[in-house]
Chains A and B, each alone.
Chain A
Amino acid sequence: MLSLCLESRLDELQRLEAAVENLGEQEQWPPNLLYQAKLVLEEVIVNIVNYGYEQREGYKIDVDLISEPDTLTIKIADDGRAFDPLSQAPTPDVDANLEDRPIGGLGVYLVQTLMDEAHYRREQDRNHLTLIKRRDG
């Protein structure tokens, strides 16, 4: 179990990463799970800082990780503007050729693909994102 309250700045990712590595070590996560957890957290938090808070500092992002033998649950909450990354972000065309391939849009797509479940809700003026990864090997 890990609970962190981050400031709305990208350099907070370093503090988060160190804490996640610690938890992964304690809970004996396989290397892939650690990589995936760090990646989805970076992608979500970059979105919140850049779009939710429009790069304004002085706001908070709550991050909770619950590591159980069969699942990892990641909860991220912020009080930035209402934004559901899961339904509002365009899906990138990953089959396009190099010339036509648009830049960007991969972050949320990676989150949705790497996690088994992703849920968003807006509650009491806060965005809540819950990500679940099953540890099936």
Chain B
Amino acid sequence: MEINTEREGTLLVARAGGRLDSINAREFDDALKSAISDSDQVLIMDLEKVSYVSSAGLRVILLTAKTLQQRSAKLLICSLAEPIREVFEISGFDKIIPIHANLGEAKASIG
């Protein structure tokens, strides 16, 4: 599980790839934890290259959102493939995590 990250001030963009499933959820979690630093105020998770997310992947995303919220930082998500967006909507994640069509829109929303 590889995550490419890019930091712009207090914004961290993390691009994941492949599958976020029960086989590699722990790896995904570890990769995120080591990528995020305490000074990051906004994390944009770019899932354009992710082809599949199951509940195990959703669990990691929810945990990350909660951890960030505890120190008043924010998680945004962008670039979901259609079936993944459906899974996010069924799970109600679109109500608790801002979801944007692409990275540009996600960045623009931060202001």
Contact of B62 with A101 in the complex, beta carbons under 8 Å: yes
Interface size for A (C-beta < 8 A) is 29
B residues with CB within 8 A of A: 21-23, 52, 54-56, 58-59, 62-63, 65-66, 69, 82-83, 86-87, 90-92, 95-97
Contact of B59 with A104 in the complex, beta carbons under 8 Å: yes
* Interfacial chain B residues near A99, Cβ < 8 Å: 66, 69
With beta carbons under 8 angstroms apart, the residue of B22, B23, B87, B96 that contacts A110 is: B87
Contact of A10 with B23 in the complex, beta carbons under 8 Å: yes
Interchain residue pairs with CB less than 8 A apart (12):
A31-B82, A32-B83, A43-B55, A98-B65, A101-B62, A103-B62, A103-B66, A106-B91, A107-B56, A110-B54, A110-B55, A110-B87
A residues with CB within 8 A of B: 10-11, 13-14, 31-32, 35-36, 38-39, 42-43, 46, 92, 94-99, 101, 103-104, 106-107, 109-110, 113-114
* Interfacial chain B residues near A98, Cβ < 8 Å: 65-66, 69, 96-97
* Interfacial chain B residues near A94, Cβ < 8 Å: 90-92, 95
Contact of B92 with A95 in the complex, beta carbons under 8 Å: yes
Query: Looking at B58, B66, B96, which has the most chain A CB atoms within 10 Å of its CB?
Result: B96
Residue of A nearest to B84 (CB): A35
* Interfacial chain B residues near A10, Cβ < 8 Å: 22-23
Contact of A103 with B87 in the complex, beta carbons under 8 Å: no
Contact of B23 with A43 in the complex, beta carbons under 8 Å: no
Residue of B nearest to A95 (CB): B92
Contact of B96 with A97 in the complex, beta carbons under 8 Å: yes
